[in-house]
Structure 1
Amino acid sequence: MQRDALLTQDELDFIQTMQHNPQLNVRDATSSLLVNGGSQIRDLLTRLAAHEQVTLQATFENQQMTFPLQLVEDEFHALHLRLGVPSIYEDGPKVRPWRLVLDEPVALENARGHPGPMRVHEVSFKGVLLEVRNKTKPPRHFALWFSPSGYERIALRGTFEKETENGLYAYQLNQDAKDETERLRQFILQQHRLTHPALHQ
């Protein structure tokens, strides 16, 4: 190789390997959205997404999924529309967020990872249904960690709503950090896939 070459042979080989690696060239089909229908529709959606909350809604059986359309900028400063993690709702006497019923209740933990007396029985992106053990009075507010098995723990902040007929306590979630809300939605979406595999094929 010439003395004044910009790259060594090893560096060139590495770049070529990266370029031809099929795993690195696969796009995430769930996060990108191709909009057909002309530039006027695309421009309108882009303007709306830049200034307002725009969603895409799908209805199936007794459930609804609402996907936020987000305007993202790539490394070349080009703007693209991307589907966000959906909010899942179920129909009934009134439309409410889809609740994941846990097989085993999960203890909420403090910041150090120690479990407390509160156990999660059901969770949605808007609220949780808790059992409080050790005859502890349910708090008006809590800020604890939800650590389902096999997942990174998620910070939850809740405000007491009501006691149910079977002695559980309903809390409305009011997350401070947007990324914690997204992680909770992602967890619920993953569990929804396991519960309704035919829908997510």
Structure 2
Amino acid sequence: MQRNAVLNDSELDYLSELFEHKQEVAAADGYNHMISVTTEVPQLIASLLGQAKFTLLAEVGHYKLWFPLEMTLDEFGQPNPMLGIPEVVEYSGNERSWRLASLQDIRFCDQRYADKVQLLSLSSTGLAFKLDCPQLTAQLLQQSELQLSLPDGQALQLRFEPVRQHNSIIAARISSCKQQRELLRRFLFQRHRQHFPALYQQLK
């Protein structure tokens, strides 16, 4: 059966009312974990989630997990929610995509940079790296794409645009196609769960 993923305005209104609720989970760590479904997606992450019409929001500690939620209709015309990979947002102060700083097991696929570039941070929206060689810095900044090797062997291809440079440290904005964006988001979500396992215990 072919899925019908296109919803009209009345169906969207119906689903909005259907899922207009919040579930609060009291956690042992003192935080109140909130779970809700919303049609309002923050502009910060709208492009990262592929302009999803619905999202499932799980608030755990100082983090928000925005799951893209696709609503399809089954053969009986009933809503069938399908969750995607979440974007992890930290909101201690300003909201921003969570940055991973433990990157020792991520490598540049290009051997010119493999042992000469140090990755400092990686998120869904940007990365920072350090180069001590001016010649390599110039070469890397002439590129518009780079490829990283993830710990499981998958290659992550990212388009990047430098936004600032301070001495040997460069911060860049990244973008990618949907497939690569989801690969990066899945990797970051897995790492977030590994770093903060206590936050997820009450969400099982």
Aligned to 2:118: 119
* Contact preservation (8 Å) 2:71, 2:79: yes
The letter for the 1-side match of 2:93 is P
Cα displacement (A) at 1:141: 4.7
Aligned to 1:102: 102
Cα displacement (A) at 1:148: 2.7
Cα displacement (A) at 1:75: 10
1: CA distance, partners of 2:89 / 2:154: 24
* Contact preservation (8 Å) 1:105, 1:121: no
Residue deviations 1:120-169 (CA, integer Å, cap 9, x gap): 221111111111243223506531211132341211111001124x7421
2: CA distance, partners of 1:77 / 1:144: 45
* Contact preservation (8 Å) 1:127, 1:171: yes
Aligned to 2:44: none
Alignment of 1:80-99 (within 5 A): 80-99=80-99
* Contact preservation (8 Å) 1:108, 1:147: yes
The letter for the 1-side match of 2:97 is P
Distance 1:160 1:43, change over 3 A: same
Cα displacement (A) at 1:92: 3.2
Aligned to 1:180: 180
**Counterpart of 1:71 in 2: which secondary structure?**
strand
**Counterpart of 1:186 in 2: which secondary structure?**
helix
**Counterpart of 2:128 in 1: which secondary structure?**
strand
Partner residue of 2:147 out of 131, 145, 148? 145
**Counterpart of 1:102 in 2: which secondary structure?**
coil
Structure showing greater Rg: 1
Residue deviations 1:40-89 (CA, integer Å, cap 9, x gap): 447977xx7xx962212222322111111123578999862111111111
2: CA distance, partners of 1:75 / 1:180: 32
The letter for the 1-side match of 2:186 is Q
Cα-Cα RMSD: 3.2
* Contact preservation (8 Å) 1:122, 1:130: yes
Aligned to 1:58: 58
The letter for the 1-side match of 2:157 is A
Point out where structure 2 has 5 or more consecutive residues left out of the alignment.
1-13, 20-38, 40-50
* Contact preservation (8 Å) 2:60, 2:200: no
Point out where structure 1 has 5 or more consecutive residues left out of the alignment.
1-39
Alignment of 1:1-201 (within 5 A): 40-41=14-15, 53-71=53-71, 80-104=80-104, 106-110=106-110, 114-116=111-113, 117-135=116-134, 136-138=136-138, 139=141, 141-164=143-166, 167-175=168-176, 177-201=177-201
2: CA distance, partners of 1:184 / 1:126: 10
Distance 1:119 1:54, change over 3 A: same
User: Kindly, what percent of the aligned residue pairs are identical?
Assistant: 25
User: What TM-score comes out, normalization by structure 2 length?
Assistant: 0.63
2: CA distance, partners of 1:182 / 1:73: 24
